[in-house]
């Protein structure tokens, strides 16, 4: 046995969001759907036009139109634009990482989010916020009782302004009476969390006065599949006594399968990866491999007719990715987020652009077209 002992998260001194110095606020960041368009270069405008045509084709074919995004798209104020696109049926699946859900929930509940990582780590206060970790865990844990993944569970929690915690006796009874039930693990994790954190059964009310700023809530409202792809220990919801890698992992497992379900309808469709340099391509390539595996078993062809738009601020390495993958002698070869998507059997383009400006122009063209 080694001598290193795991951290005891029960000893953490947790703080309230009311004590945090918030760096962004909903009323300062939200882009109104009719706001003046931010400028784009001519080449980016052309790519937006191509994306619009591909989305129209996907819609006509009933194919998947997926948006994978990083937290900065939310923090840059694109929520209302995405709400419009979901309501109008232009997006059929959204996916984000753990950070995308944390800022989303904090904006919806508190109206503010983000903090100084440097100052917070030095003072031992970074991410040590009770409301965020507690409520996201309760959303995920109670959602699991009904077979919901991370995205669906949190969307429901925001729209319902909280959740209802079952009686401990009822959880114990259901675990003992049917230990082979598919939800037995979820029941046990919730029971342990309630006891560990002193949570009482009954209504757990949490107001979300800024719900319109939530992309996840909009997806729940409009019945658009929303998948979350977190890492264990990646996000500030780990910094709390309630932290359960099992609960987060169960929810993420469901969402990975949901993500794959949408990719199974990608033939003729579109993927927009906006500001997701790591999660997006990594999850996409594994899920698409599973989809093609199943399609080949069923006597179908692999997914090979689809468009991918990768949007980010980073330089694309001076390479036109429409030509395919560069040789290893080119610096662009080592841009993983481009290289992974270029190998996915579709028509991939890299668009160097401010992500909110790209979505703003896309929104205006689709909603007014």
**pLDDT, tens digit, 9 for 90 and up, residues 139-149:** 999 999 999 99
Residue 318 lies inside a defined structural domain of this protein: yes
Residue 3 lies inside a defined structural domain of this protein: no
Mean pLDDT of the chain, nearest integer? 96
pLDDT in tens, 93-109: 999 999 999 999 999 99
Mean of pLDDT values over 146-153: 98
CATH number for position 97: 3.40.910
The residue with tokens 């909009």 is: 218
Mean of pLDDT values over 298-316: 95
Domain containing 21 equals 14-27+41-368
What is the per-residue pLDDT for 1?
65
CB atoms within 10 A of CB 109: 24
| HSE-CB of 87 using CA atoms within 13 angstroms | 13
Residue 190 lies inside a defined structural domain of this protein: yes
Q: Give the helix/strand (H/E) hosting 112.
A: strand 112-113
What is the per-residue pLDDT for 323?
85
The residues, any chain, with a CB within 8 Å of residue 98's CB and separated by 6 or more, are: 228, 229, 230, 231, 234, 235, 237, 248
Inter-CA distances, 323 with 206, 296, 339, 343, 344, Å: 51, 27, 12, 12, 14
**pLDDT at residue 322 tops 90:** no
What is the per-residue pLDDT for 314?
87
Mean of pLDDT values over 302-321: 92
**pLDDT at residue 340 tops 70:** yes
Residue 4 lies inside a defined structural domain of this protein: no
Gap between the Cα atoms of 79 and 59, Å rounded: 22
DSSP state of 277: S
Residue 72 lies inside a defined structural domain of this protein: yes
Tokens representing 167 are: 């009686």
DSSP state of 38: P
Three-state secondary-structure class, residue 343: coil
Gap between the Cα atoms of 350 and 320, Å rounded: 8
Mean of pLDDT values over 211-223: 98
Residue 35 lies inside a defined structural domain of this protein: no
Chain CA centroid to CA 140, Å: 14
Number of folded domains in the chain? Answer: 1
Residue 50 lies inside a defined structural domain of this protein: yes
**pLDDT at residue 369 tops 80:** no
pLDDT band at 315 (very low <50, low <70, confident <90, very high): confident
Residue 173 lies inside a defined structural domain of this protein: yes
């Amino acid at each position: 046995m080694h001598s290193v002992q795991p951290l005891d998260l029960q000893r953490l001194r947790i703080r309230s969001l009311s004590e945090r110095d918030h760096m962004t606020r909903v009323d300062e960041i939200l882009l109104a759907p009719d706001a003046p368009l931010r400028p784009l270069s001519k080449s980016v405008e052309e790519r937006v036009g191509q994306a619009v045509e591909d989305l129209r084709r996907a819609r006509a074919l009933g194919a998947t139109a997926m948006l994978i995004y990083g937290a900065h798209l939310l923090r840059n104020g694109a929520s209302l634009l995405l709400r419009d696109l979901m309501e109008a049926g232009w997006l059929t699946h959204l996916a984000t990482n753990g950070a995308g859900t944390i800022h989303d929930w904090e904006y919806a509940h508190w109206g503010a989010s983000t903090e100084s990582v440097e100052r917070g780590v030095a003072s031992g206060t970074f991410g040590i916020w009770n409301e965020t970790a507690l409520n996201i865990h309760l959303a995920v844990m109670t959602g699991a009782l009904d077979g919901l993944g991370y995205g669906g569970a949190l969307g429901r929690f925001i729209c319902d302004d909280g959740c209802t915690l079952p009686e401990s006796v009822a959880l114990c009874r259901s675990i003992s009476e049917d230990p082979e039930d598919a939800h037995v693990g979820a029941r046990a994790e919730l029971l342990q969390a309630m006891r560990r954190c002193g949570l009482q059964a009954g209504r757990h009310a949490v107001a979300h006065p800024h719900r319109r700023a939530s992309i996840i809530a909009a997806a729940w409202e409009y019945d658009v599949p929303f998948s979350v792809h977190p890492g264990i220990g990646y996000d500030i919801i780990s910094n709390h006594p309630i932290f359960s890698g099992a609960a987060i992992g169960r929810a993420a497992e469901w969402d990975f399968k949901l993500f794959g379900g949408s990719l199974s309808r990608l033939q003729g469709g579109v993927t927009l990866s906006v500001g997701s340099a790591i999660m997006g391509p990594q999850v996409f390539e594994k899920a698409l491999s599973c989809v093609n595996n199943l399609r080949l078993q069923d006597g179908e062809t692999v997914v090979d007719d689809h468009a991918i738009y990768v949007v980010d601020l980073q330089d694309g390495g001076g390479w036109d990715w429409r030509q395919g993958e560069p040789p290893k002698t080119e610096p662009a070869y080592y841009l993983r987020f481009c290289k992974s998507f270029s190998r996915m059997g579709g028509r991939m383009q890299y668009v160097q652009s401010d992500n909110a400006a790209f979505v703003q122009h896309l929104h205006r063209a689709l909603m007014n077209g």
